[in-house]
Amino acid sequence: MVQTATPGAEGSAQHCATISGYASTEPSAIYSCAREVLRRCARTHIWVPAVTQAGAADYLWRQGCSLGYRVLGMRVTAERWSSAEPPRIAGATMIWVRTAQQAELFRELRRGFREPGPYVDFFARDGVLLSERCDAVVAVDEPGGPCAGGMVVYSADFSRAGLYWPATNRENRRRGIGTAVAAALTDRAVERGCRSVSLQATPMGVGVYESLGFTPVEPIDRFLLSVQDR
């Protein structure tokens, strides 16, 4: 089980945590962890696999947790990816985040998606984006500013990677920029020795990732537990 929390005033609306439960985690342990987190956070997002952890989903529902939405867990192996050819970007420049200034460009993009400032500032802080275990990229539209981006985070032994926040702003969709960003990040992870890359896809993105070689693993549910539910 993995737990992360954003900084902020104790119990403030912006102070939240994320918990990821796995097939080997008892449902009661996931819920207990979420309840403990609420001692210092206003709300907790709980991610659980819908198939291998079907019991946890049912348990959380019965405990009063709200079901937010469902995404599809997908994965591509290095062997399958080796034959992929990352698409080129027309009219945009790909910038790999290597400096504090570039990290701020990445955060500027994420804030444009109306995500809470403290949430972006925590998960996309310099200590994450510029660390050895992360590669982040921003696509900049030539006449404008940042228009797409994403990041990969590596396991401790660099055998696996998770692809997070691949997104394109509304004005630049359907140009292939988001696909190119996801492809570039996956390519970088494979180059660094990862045997597999995983992500969580919304219904809008499933077709894009399938075209890149990702295959479905199982649905993942996001539950919400807030201080009002305690």
Query: Cα 205 to chain center, whole Å?
Result: 13
Kindly indicate the confidence band of residue 117, based on its pLDDT and cuts at 50, 70 and 90.
Answer: low
Q: Is residue 78 part of a domain?
A: no
State the average pLDDT over residues 84-89.
62
Q: Is residue 79 part of a domain?
A: no
Same domain, 205 and 225: no
CB 227 within 8 A of CB 11: yes
State the average pLDDT over residues 181-186.
92
Same domain, 54 and 137: no
Q: How many domains, the chain?
A: 2
Q: Is residue 77 part of a domain?
A: no
For residue 133, the enclosing domain spans 85-212
Whole-angstrom CA distances from 77 to 6, 86, 140, 141, 198 are 31, 15, 29, 31, 9
pTM of the model: 0.79
**Is the confidence at residue 112, as pLDDT, over 90?**
no
7: Cβ contacts below 8 Å, ≥ 6 apart: 15, 118, 122
Same domain, 168 and 127: yes
Same domain, 59 and 96: no
Same domain, 100 and 185: yes
Same domain, 205 and 91: yes
Supply the CATH number for residue 119's domain.
Answer: 3.40.630.30
Whole-angstrom CA distances from 37 to 24, 32, 40, 41, 130 are 20, 9, 6, 6, 28
Provide the pLDDT for residue 62.
Answer: 85
**Is the confidence at residue 131, as pLDDT, over 60?**
yes
Provide the pLDDT for residue 40.
Answer: 64
Provide the pLDDT for residue 8.
Answer: 39
Which amino acid would we find at residue 146? P
Q: For 9-13, 46-50, 207-211, which range has the lowest pLDDT when averaged over its residues?
A: 9-13
Choice between 27 and 199, residue whose per-residue pLDDT is larger: 199
67: Cβ contacts below 8 Å, ≥ 6 apart: 57, 61, 221, 222, 223, 224
